[in-house]
Each structure stands twice: as C-alpha cells, then as structure tokens.
C-alpha cells in the first residue's frame, strides 16, 4: 500500500514508512559476506575470518547503513510519486506503537517548497536611479587623490589651525591620578579630522610650537574605554611642531605616482573620469536593483520553508563571525549572535531567491555569452592589464559562472523594469558616493 503524505501545517509534511526486517537482514548478510572477503581481523589472515566474527565487528555499522539506505529509497519513492520538492533534510524518527511484527517503522517529517506565483509585474512601482558625472565631480575625486598624498612641512611661528599636523606631548589625570592611555610623547594628529575628542582639538588649535595649555576634558558616557567613560579629566598639552599641509602639483610626477607611466596629466584625468563614471553608474544601478527587488519581495506573500531560512541565517552568522575575526575581535567564534539578528533579511533573501527563480523559468531568462563577455571586459577595465583579467575569467568555468549569475540578475532587473511602473530619479553624486 502506497504511504500517504500527511499535511501538518504550512509547508510541513509527514509520511510513515516501514521496511521488512527480513529484507534488511538479507541485505546485511550479503554485505557482510562482501566485507569478509577483504576484512583484516586480528588473529586471522585477510579474508579468512568467520562470518560470526565479521558480524560482531562490522554488523552494527553495516546494519545501520542498510536501514538508512532502505528507508531513504522508500522516502525517495514517496516524494517522487507525490511530485514533491523537499526543502532541507527530512527528520526521521522510529515508531513502535501500532507496528506490525517483522517490520521497522519510521515517521519522516519534512518541508516542501511553496507554490510560488510571480506577481503581476505591471503592478510593481519601482524607482530607476540615474547620476550625472561632470567636471565638478571629477575634480572632487582629483582633490581626494591629492589630499591622500599630502605632505606636511613645518610652519615656524604659526599657530596651529584646521588641516595642520601637530606633534605634541600630552598628559591627562583624573582626580589628580594618571590613567592608562592618558599620556603620550611625540604624538601626531591632523587637526580637523576628528581623530581626537572635540575638546582636545579645540584646546590644541591656536597653539604654536613650544606653547602649552591645561584644559578640562569630559569623556563621553559611551567612550570606548570603560575605565574613563563619563569621567572628567585634566590634560596638559605641549606642542612641539606645527606642520602645514602641501598638496602635490598636478604634474607628471603626480600622474606617475597614480600609475600613469608616461606622466601624461591629460591621460590621467581621462582615466579618473572613466573610473568615476564607472563607479557612479554601478552604484546607481545597484540602487535601482534594490528598488526593484524591494518591490518584488513586497508583492509576494507565500510561506517560506524554515529549513531554507535557517540555512541562510547560519550562513550570514558564519560570515559575521569571519568578519569579526578579521577585525581582530576576541572570541569571535563563540561570541553570542542572536539568530533573530539576521532573520528578517534572511527571510527576504529566501523569498526573493524563490520568486526570482520562478520568474527566470517562466520568462526563460538567460545570461547570453556575449553579455557575459561584455561584463567581464567592463570589469577588467579597472585593472592595469585588462586582457589578462578577461583571460582569467574565460579560462575557468566556475569564475565564468560567477559573472553569468550577475548578468542573469541584471536581465531580471531589466525584465521587470520593462513591465513595471517606473519613476526616474536623478541622485546627487555626493550622496550616492557617500562623500557627505
């Protein structure tokens, strides 16, 4: 009699399975005889140990494997006959009550994939982001590159001001007692960069080399060091040197320092413009994609398999631990991370994965070879030797698959944009690039 799949709740299903003990023992004996031909048992030549000895040494493990295999085959048949897509690993539990003699009975509980209906794309409201890169935006990038290569030159007899680098000694006390981290000599920092607390920067600003100042400073309540957080200290600073910033000139040497071998400033500016445009367009595209995916996820209400959500949470938790480990956080492997930290985003990702997969199948979307090639070539432009990067990706199937996945995502976004209600918005360059 064909086992009946019982619906429990939502996507959870259960089916009772049974296998004949006689059939199991027959298969166990067959496998033990096969093992006996090569088994190395102490006191016997290889392949000469009696079957009774083989039974004692290998019987339990062989019997366990046979039972799992038989139950697995029975479950696979039920799943196939019922045309089910199982999500996650079924949970098997033995049954004893109401079981006929001579059989082993199990109850298998599992989840199935939901029936996913792609929403009407014409009902989706999405925003398509665009950005303009002009001379002013390119100049901002040039200014940043120059600032990154700032050199500081001593400014004798000049008071320290924002942008200057100062070298100083400082000593702090709380209730007249020095504290850990409160004293330093020949300490450098640049005024205005926010590296020091505001009171410290304010007190240092206006001092010349050789001048000192005593001032109070209250540490914030959420200061990184619990020993001084919320407490008021008294600091004494003595400025030893004030150095003013000097930006490099836009000349051949500057161009060469940025990888322009010929020192051609015009060629450097053209490269900078191309890179800025590429990065800005990529960010605008990512913003558009986020709007599309938010609209798509918001239009879907089907149940989610708990197993898939749990797997996604586990994956994101492992990634978070690895990031903490890379940042040098102690006990990153055991630091408690509540699973609800990633639950909402994990549910969103699983939901999107299911509906996007259904959309790809229903609309027969594919990543065309010429699209993949174009994407690789575009990506390679940001490297010094683009041809080698292109060859690197084209030579390996797995690396190409990574690009194919990105292209397919783009095709999904374009497909939705072609059908949805689209509002175009021009995004401020600085806001898009995170420069203010």
Cα-flanking dihedrals φ and ψ of residue 153, to 5°? Answer: -120, 135
Mean pLDDT (whole number) for 357-380: 92
Pick the closest to residue 87 from 401, 350, 406 (CA basis): 350
CA dihedral in degrees (148, 151, 157, 163; nearest 10)?
0
DSSP assignment letter at 330: T
Per-residue pLDDT at 224: 83
**62-89 per-position pLDDT tens digit:** 888 898 898 889 899 999 998 999 998 9
Mean pLDDT value of segment 317-323: 91
Exposure string of 25-34, with b = 16+ CB inside 10 Å and e = fewer, is: eebbeebbee
Percent of the chain with pLDDT over 70: 99
- Are 400 and 394 a contacting pair, CB within 8 Å? yes
Residue pair 81/15 in contact (Cβ under 8 Å)? The answer is no
Strands (E), 164-260: 165-174, 177-190, 212-218, 232-246
The pLDDT, as a whole number, for residue 436 is: 52
Q: Give the model's pLDDT for residue 1.
A: 55
Tell me how crowded residue 420 is: count the other CB atoms within 10 A of its CB. 20
* pLDDT exceeds cutoff 60 at 276: yes
The SS3 assignment for 277 reads helix
CA angle 302, 306, 309 (to 5 degrees): 90
Pick left, alpha or beta for residue 176 (phi over 0 → left; psi -120 to 50 → alpha; otherwise beta): left
- The pLDDT, as a whole number, for residue 49 is 80
Q: How far is the CA of 277 from the CAs of 135, 217, 255, 280, 384, in angstroms?
A: 11, 45, 19, 5, 18
Contact between 421 and 122 (Cβ < 8 Å) = yes
| Closest C-alpha to 292, from 122, 128, 123, 117 | 128
For 336-354, how does the pLDDT look when each residue is reduced to its tens digit (9 = 90+)? 888 789 999 999 999 999 9
Q: Residue 98 — pLDDT band, cuts 50, 70, 90?
A: low
Question: Residue ranges per domain, the chain?
Answer: 6-112, 121-135+262-306+339-433, 150-246
Residues 205-250: pLDDT tens digits?
999 999 999 999 999 999 988 899 999 999 999 999 999 999 999 9
The answer to whether the CB of 166 falls within 8 A of the CB of 188 is yes
pTM of the model: 0.73
Contact between 269 and 114 under an 8 Å Cβ cutoff? The reply is: no
* CATH number for the domain running over 121-135+262-306+339-433: 1.10.3120.10
Q: Are 324 and 341 in contact (CB under 8 A)?
A: no
Place of tokens 């190409």: 400
Give the pLDDT band of residue 410 (cuts 50, 70, 90). Answer: very high
Give the mean model confidence (pLDDT) for residues 364-371.
Answer: 94
- Report pLDDT for 40: 81
Say which residue the tokens 């059939």 belong to. Answer: 23
Beta bridge partners of 19: 104
Coil/strand/helix, residue 171: strand
Say what angle helices 51-81 and 21-36 make with each other, to 10 degrees: 130
Residues 239, 167 contacting (CB under 8 angstroms): yes
**Mean pLDDT, the chain, integer:** 91
Which of 396, 357, 331 has the alpha carbon at shortest distance from 116?
A: 357
Task: CATH number for 150-246: choose from 3.10.50.40, 3.40.50.10420, 3.20.20.480, 3.30.2010.30.
Answer: 3.10.50.40
Mean pLDDT, range 302-316, rounded to an integer: 93
Q: Is 242 within 8 Å of 160 (Cβ atoms)? A: yes
| Structure tokens that stand for 390 in this block | 């292109």
Residue among 293, 337, 297 nearest 315 (CA):
337
Q: How confident is the model at residue 211, as a pLDDT? A: 96
Question: Is there a contact between 237 and 197 (Cβ–Cβ < 8 Å)?
Answer: no
Of the candidates 317, 156, 151, the one whose C-alpha atom is nearest the C-alpha of residue 242 is 156
Alpha-carbon gap, residue 188 to 242, rounded angstroms: 10
Pairing of strands 165-174, 86-95: unpaired
Superfamily of domain 6-112: Trigger factor ribosome-binding domain (3.30.70.1050)
The per-residue pLDDT for range 165-190, each reduced to its tens digit, is 999 999 999 999 999 999 999 999 99
Please check whether residue 189 is in contact with residue 167, taking contact to mean a CB–CB distance below 8 angstroms. Answer: no
Instruction: For residues 323 and 340, give the distance between their C-alpha atoms in angstroms, rounded to a whole number.
Output: 18
Note whether 129 and 425 are within 8 A (CB): yes
């Amino acid at each position: 009699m064909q086992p009946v799949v019982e619906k429990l709740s939502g996507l959870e299903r259960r089916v009772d399975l049974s296998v004949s003990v006689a059939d199991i023992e027959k298969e166990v004996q067959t496998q033990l005889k096969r093992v006996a031909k090569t088994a190395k048992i102490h006191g016997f030549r290889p392949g000469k140990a009696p079957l009774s000895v083989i039974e004692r040494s290998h019987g339990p493990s062989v019997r366990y494997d046979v039972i799992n295999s038989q139950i697995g085959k029975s479950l696979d048949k039920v799943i196939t006959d019922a045309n089910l897509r199982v999500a996650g690993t079924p949970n098997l539990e033995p049954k004893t009550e109401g079981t006929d003699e001579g059989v082993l009975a199990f109850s298998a509980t599992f989840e199935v994939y939901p029936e996913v209906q792609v929403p009407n794309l014409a009902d989706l409201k999405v925003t398509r982001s665009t950005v303009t890169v002009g001379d002013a935006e390119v100049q901002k990038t040039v200014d940043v590159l120059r600032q990154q290569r700032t050199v500081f030159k001593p400014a004798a007899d000049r008071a320290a001001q924002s942008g200057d680098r100062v070298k100083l000694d400082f000593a702090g006390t709380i209730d007249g007692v020095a504290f850990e981290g409160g004293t330093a000599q020949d300490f450098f920092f640049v005024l205005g960069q926010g590296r020091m607390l505001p009171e410290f920067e304010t007190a240092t600003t206006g001092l010349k080399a050789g001048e000192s100042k005593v001032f109070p400073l209250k540490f914030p309540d959420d200061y990184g060091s619990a020993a001084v957080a919320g407490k008021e200290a008294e600091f004494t600073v003595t400025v030893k040197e004030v150095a003013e910033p000097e930006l490099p000139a836009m000349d051949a040497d500057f161009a060469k320092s940025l990888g322009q071998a010929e020192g051609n400033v015009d060629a450097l500016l053209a490269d900078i413009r191309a890179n800025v445009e590429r990065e800005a367009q990529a960010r605008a595209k990512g913003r558009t994609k986020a709007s599309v995916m938010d609209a798509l996820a918001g239009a879907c209400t089907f149940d989610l398999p708990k197993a898939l959500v749990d797997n996604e949470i586990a994956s994101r938790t492992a990634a978070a631990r690895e990031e903490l480990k890379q940042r040098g956080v102690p006990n990153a492997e055991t630091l408690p991370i509540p699973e609800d930290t990633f639950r909402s985003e994990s549910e969103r990702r699983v939901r999107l994965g299911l509906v996007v997969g259904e959309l790809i199948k229903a609309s027969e979307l594919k990543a065309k070879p010429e699209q993949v090639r174009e994407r690789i070539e575009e990506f390679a432009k940001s490297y010094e030797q683009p041809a080698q990067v292109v060859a690197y990706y084209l030579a390996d199937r797995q690396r190409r698959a990574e690009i194919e996945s990105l292209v397919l995502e783009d095709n999904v976004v374009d497909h939705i944009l072609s059908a949805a209600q689209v509002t175009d918005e021009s995004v401020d360059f600085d806001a898009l690039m995170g420069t203010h």
